[in-house]
Amino acid sequence: MTESVSAPEAYAVLGREFYDRDPLRVAPELLGKLVIRGRRVGRIVEVEAYRGSEDPASHAYRGKTRRNATMFGPPGRLYVYFTYGMHWCANAVCWPDGRAGAVLLRALAPEQGLDEMSAMRPKARHTRDLCSGPAKLCQAFGLDGSFDGADLVSGAGDIVIASDGVAPPRSPGRSERIGVTPSTGVRWRWWWPGDPNVSRPSAGKRVPERRDRHARPGAQRKAQPAAD
DNA sequence: TTGAGGATTCTC
DNA sequence: AGAATCCTCAAA
């Protein structure tokens, strides 16, 4: 029994095997799961998959460095990186030890411990401002570089991801990933439809491409790498 | 040692 | 639309 993480409800912490798969499969299944740190609980409503060595947009694409080393380690750990000179972002590491892969946690729906989250994010005016972005949720949960490598399975790292029985949405929102340059053309971002905490509810990337607005469903069938 | 750029957020 | 802000990495 670790007392570092409180579990007042019937939560089942996800096992190692959940993460020991292709990030493309792990990502959509993380929707609806709970991130738990002490009293703070948030439900995952937006994620992105990064496929390491096979993914030009991944930090791990050009090999192992000190920064991305956690991604090359065992699955089920937290990969936390620093960016833009001021922000931390958190990922769940996937694939077996030695093979880099991760799922970026982009947004959570705050469920418990909102007072603690608000204290960490004084600029937030609404509940939906607390965790509606990868760096925002790290602020709300107090995640920084000291959490890089934290084990999400054992709970020894003061943070876990668990299930309370809520299933992922049958038809999740899906788009290209946000902020990656250049866009690789793959739709590896998933979100919970209609959830107000999703960072960018409507589209994938905000770029000068109006054509997409009027494209019909069958008209723009891009190459979709084996996702399902 | 240096310089360019970044899986973002906030404000104007 | 632009600033904030500093770590990381590859190259010199």
DSSP string, A155-219: STTS-EEEE-SPPPPSS-EEEPPSS-SS--S---EEE-TT-TT-SSSS-S--SS-THHHH--TTT
pLDDT at A62: 95
| Percent of chain A clearing pLDDT 70 (strictly above) | 85
Q: Which nucleotide has its C1' atom closest to residue A124's CA?
A: B10
Q: Which nucleotides of B are covered by protein (CB under 7 A)?
A: 6-11
Is any atom of nucleic acid chain B found less than 7 Å from the CB of residue A197? no
pLDDT at A124: 96
pLDDT at A222: 36
Is any atom of nucleic acid chain B found less than 7 Å from the CB of residue A89? yes
Expressed in angstroms, the distance from the first to the final Cα of chain A is: 36
Q: Which residue is closest, via its CA, to the C1' of C8?
A: A67
Dist. CA A21–CA A202, nearest whole Å: 29
Asked whether residue A212 carries a pLDDT value surpassing 80, the answer given is no
Q: List, chain by chain, residues whose CB lies under 7 Å from nucleic acid strand C.
A: A 62-63, 65-68, 82, 84-86, 145
Calculate the angstrom distance between C1' of B9 and CA of A136: 8
Asked whether residue A49 carries a pLDDT value surpassing 60, the answer given is yes
Is any atom of nucleic acid chain B found less than 7 Å from the CB of residue A121? yes
Contact between A26 and A18 under an 8 Å Cβ cutoff? The reply is yes
Report, as an integer, the average pLDDT of A148-167. 97
Q: Which nucleotide has its C1' atom closest to residue A49's CA?
A: B7
Q: Which residue is closest, via its CA, to the C1' of C6?
A: A85
| R_g of chain A computed on alpha carbons | 17
Is any atom of nucleic acid chain B found less than 7 Å from the CB of residue A129? yes
| Token pair recorded at residue A155 | 């709970």
Asked whether residue A209 carries a pLDDT value surpassing 80, the answer given is no
Calculate the angstrom distance between C1' of B5 and CA of A59: 13
Lowest mean pLDDT among A24-33, A79-88, A183-192, A205-214: A205-214
A18 exposed, middle or buried (CB, 10 Å; 0-12, 13-18, 19+)? buried
Contact between A152 and A77 under an 8 Å Cβ cutoff? The reply is yes
Span A117-156, pLDDT tens digits? 999 999 999 999 999 999 999 999 999 999 999 999 999 9
Calculate the angstrom distance between C1' of B1 and CA of A12: 50
pLDDT at A184: 81
Calculate the angstrom distance between C1' of B1 and CA of A123: 38
pLDDT band at A48 (very low <50, low <70, confident <90, very high): very high
Name all domains of chain A by residue range, CATH numbers in brackets: 12-198 (3.10.300.10)
Residue with tokens 């190459």: A223
